[in-house]
């Protein structure tokens, strides 16, 4: 019998591949990257220089039955602005499985 669903809040998305992937965590919610506050998200294209440091830098990722969601946030680090990477506040609606 499968255990109840497990959600993990983890600041750094690189922990997903390094430490979470071999656990029974169903969903990991992360942030940290800010999308490097610079990039392109238009017409189905999504790229930021932060992808060189964090392969999972924004949005939803899946590994088997596990999911990672990386939020770009709405703040900044260093440069007080964003170019091409919009601020983000994510809302999840959790429902009981049928």
Q: What does the alpha-carbon distance between residue 53 and residue 40 come to, in Å, rounded to a whole number?
A: 16
Q: Tokens 């990672």 map to which residue?
A: 68
pLDDT at 85: 83
Q: What is the pTM of this model?
A: 0.86
Domain ranges of the chain: 7-70
pLDDT at 92: 92
Q: What does the alpha-carbon distance between residue 70 and residue 33 come to, in Å, rounded to a whole number?
A: 8
| 10-residue mean pLDDT series, the chain (98 residues) | 79 94 95 82 87 91 96 82 87 84
Q: What does the alpha-carbon distance between residue 19 and residue 11 come to, in Å, rounded to a whole number?
A: 13
pLDDT at 2: 55
Q: What does the alpha-carbon distance between residue 84 and residue 36 come to, in Å, rounded to a whole number?
A: 10
pLDDT at 91: 94
């Amino acid at each position: 019998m499968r255990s109840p669903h497990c959600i993990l809040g983890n600041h750094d998305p690189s922990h997903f591949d390094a430490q979470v992937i071999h656990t029974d965590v169903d969903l990991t919610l992360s942030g940290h990257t800010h999308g490097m506050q610079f990039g392109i998200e238009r017409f189905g294209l999504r790229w930021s220089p932060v992808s060189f440091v964090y392969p999972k830098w924004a949005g939803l990722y899946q590994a088997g039955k596990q999911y990672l969601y990386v939020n770009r946030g709405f703040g900044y680090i260093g440069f007080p602005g964003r170019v091409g990477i919009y601020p983000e506040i994510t809302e999840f609606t959790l429902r009981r499985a049928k």
